[in-house]
Every structure is written in C-alpha cells, then in structure tokens.
Amino acid sequence: MVMFSAEHWVILALTALLCVVVPTILRRKPELSDGVRYMLALVLVLNIVVYQSYRIVAGYWSVATDLPMHLCAWANVVTALALLTRKQFLVEIAWCWVMTGSVNALITPQLENAFPEIPYIYFVVGHTGLITAVCTVVFGLNIRPRPGAWLRVMAASQIYFFSAIAINHLTKANYGFLDPMDPFRNQTVLAIFPNDGPWFYLAFEFAGAALFALALLPFRYGEKR
C-alpha cells in the first residue's frame, strides 16, 4: 500500500465512515450492542491468530519480527478485552493507544503487500477494525475516559514500554520502533528524536505523554462543559 495513493485514501475514508456509522447504529439500537461488541472482539483476536498461524505455516515466523510486541498488537488485545468486559480502565488504555499509535500507523503505512495477501488483510483489520472498535466502545457504548485517565494510561504504558525495550535487547528486534539506531526511524517522524539511547527513550516518553493528553482533551473539555 503506497501512502496517500488512491487505495490508501479509500482505506482512510472507510475507517472514518465506520467510526461514525457503527457507534450511531448502537446508539439508535442499543439492543444490538452485545452482538456487535462480541463480534468486534472476535474479529480482533482472530486477526492476530490467523496472521501468526500464516507466518508459522509459511515458514516466515521469527522472534525478531513476529512476536506480538508492537503497540498495535497490544492495543488489539486490550480493545478486545474492553469490548468483552466494558471495564472503563481498559477503555481508557485502548482509546489512548489506538488514537495515537494505531491512527498514526494507518496514516503512514509501511506495507509492501497488496490485497488479498494475508499481511495486507492483517494490517487493515488490525488498524481500521481496531480504530472502529475503540470508537464503538467510547461513542456507541458510551464508556468515556474518566478524570485521571492520563495518569492511569501513562502508568499502564510503562509495562509495554519497558517490555518492548527488554524484548528488543534480547532478540535484536525493533518492536514499538524503540531501537534508536534502526535506519527505519529516519524515514518517519522518529527522526526528530536524538540517537542516544537514554535520550531517545526519554523523548519517546514525552511524545507519548503529549499525544495521550491530546487524545483525552475532548473528554476534558466535555467535563468542563
């Protein structure tokens, strides 16, 4: 998928449409809520299972590339759990992770595969489906982030942050794009971060904190209103 090609614009438009249509349907027909949230959770989990199975069967699977250690993979699991349990804490984490990491990944795709290849489907479902799912929870099921969500999300995010750094160190991978020396970073917004490891990680933390605050800003404004 070429970034900002006609195909990419279609995917972006479809994502925006689904984020409006599905929550609107649930608000008008709340009796459909359980069926929709279970279905979305199943799709998110199956997407990971099918892709992992494909990589194993095709002989491509590697600890350096295929462990579910990218933030979007964690966001898929957290969002699926939020759909199933309707726990507000999980919704807060899902909202912040998806509306920062997953949205950015969908806007700037790094994908060489074409439809209907499995990696292509995995990417689209794991991003378009994920963004639709979290909007469905927040706006369709009306489970909104509460005051103090920023601190809770930042605390929970440290589990992912340090886990990804540790796994990267052990496997020589670049999960979460947290390897400060990886050449890929120079093709992305990460190029603005310093090369030095500790400063790179600190800059990553500050960027994440700012993006989470921005993602939660509409709810803070709503509380004041």
Query: Going residue by residue through the chain (225 aa), what tens digit of pLDDT does each one get?
Result: 777 788 899 999 999 999 999 999 999 999 999 999 999 999 999 999 999 999 999 999 999 889 999 888 999 999 999 999 999 999 999 999 999 988 988 988 878 878 888 989 999 999 999 999 999 999 999 999 999 999 999 999 999 999 999 999 898 888 888 877 766 655 555 666 666 667 778 888 888 899 999 999 988 765 555
pTM of structure: 0.89
Yes or no: say if 172 and 65 are a contact pair by the CB < 8 Å rule: no
Distance from C-alpha of 150 to C-alpha of 177, rounded to nearest angstrom: 22
Q: Residue 223 has what pLDDT? A: 53
Q: Residue 95 has what pLDDT? A: 96
Phi-psi label, residue 118: left if phi above 0, alpha if psi -120 to 50, beta otherwise: alpha
Could you identify the residue written with the tokens 């984020």?
A: 19
Give Cα 92 distance to the centre of its chain: 13
Q: Where are the domains of the chain?
A: 6-224
DSSP designation for 185? G
Other CB atoms within a 10 A radius of the CB of residue 77 amount to 16
